[in-house]
Amino acid sequence: MLDFHAVTKTFGLKPVLRGIDLTVAEGEFVALVGPNGAGKTTLLRIAASLSRPTLGRVRVGGYDLPAHADAVRRLLGVVSHLPLLYGDLTADENLRFYGEMYGVSDLRRRSTEVLEQVGLVHRRGDLARTFSRGMIQRLAIARAILHAPQIMLFDEPHTGLDQDAGAMLDTVLKSVAANGRTVLMISHDLPRALALAHRVAILSRGKIVHTAPTAGLDPRAFAQQYDELTH
């Protein structure tokens, strides 16, 4: 569902991505980890058709980017650092706005479904600006899955959350993955990445330096390997 081949990205004379090769299969949950400045968000933005690679090939859902960006965006649900919500609209109104934009059928029923999935159906009539950081993240996920996308992209969704809100978000992410969606998640939290994902990839200095399935992976041994590969 996601295929990056020899992807390079430079900003001016500064190389950020240096020949990325990475695939994410249909229904797979891959966590992309690495230090700040490694190029993780840049790679996610390219997958979301928000940025173009300097060199290389990117295919999302069978479509080439950037040539078929419009078709790709229909397949994607994106949760980034910006929640893309309107504070003076209720949870319901936010979902209705995005649902109409994507042409979601039976929008009232679908809004109820996703609000139940993220545990916010009881707050559907409340303004988004009254929500906690954790609730905003959950509503952002509801927005992102409203149109039943095949592929989910998450950019450090746990940033700024307390322990309880983080645990609730973990439950939501597991539910999203259990529904068969393809997931690529950027994370700086190694234990959480290993607990949630099927496979983990380390990005360092603009290159994928290691990938491994998470099943049976020793978190301490992986953390040591991570330190060795990123320093």
| Tens-place pLDDT, residues 8-65 | 999 998 999 999 999 999 999 999 999 999 999 999 999 999 999 999 999 999 999 9
Antiparallel, parallel or unpaired: β 182-187 and 29-33:
parallel
CB 198 within 8 A of CB 214: yes
Asked if 139 contacts 120 with a C-beta cutoff of 8 angstroms, the reply is yes
Task: Tell me the C-alpha distance between 169 and 157, whole Å.
Answer: 8
- 34: nearest Cα among 155, 141, 177: 155
Q: How many CB atoms lie within 10 A of CB 143?
A: 24
Q: What is the distance between the alpha carbons of residues 141 and 121, in angstroms, rounded to a whole number?
A: 13
Question: What mean pLDDT is predicted for residues 72-81?
Answer: 92
The pLDDT of residue 166 is 86
CA dihedral 114, 116, 118, 121 (to 10 degrees): 100
Size of the chain, expressed as the number of residues it contains: 231
What is the overall mean pLDDT for the chain?
Answer: 94
Q: What pLDDT does 136 receive?
A: 93
Pairing type for strands 207-213 and 199-204 reads antiparallel
Reply yes or no on whether the pLDDT at 77 is more than 90.
yes
Secondary structure of residue 42 in the 3-state scheme: helix
Task: Identify the helix (H) or strand (E) that includes residue 75.
Answer: helix 69-75
0.85 exceeded by pTM? yes
Considering only the C-alpha atoms of the chain, give the largest distance between any 2 of them, rounded to a whole number of Å.
51
pLDDT band at 70 (very low <50, low <70, confident <90, very high): very high
Q: Within 13 Å and on the Cβ side, how many CA atoms surround 207?
A: 7
3-state secondary structure of 160: coil
Whether 76 has a pLDDT exceeding 90, the answer reads: yes
Q: Which CATH architecture has domain 2-83+150-230?
A: 3-Layer(aba) Sandwich (3.40)
Task: Give the tokens for residue 89.
Answer: 């609209």
Gap between the Cα atoms of 159 and 166, Å rounded: 9
Burial of 106 (0-12, 13-18, 19+ CB in 10 A): exposed
Neighbouring residues of 113: CB distance < 8 A, sequence distance ≥ 6 = none
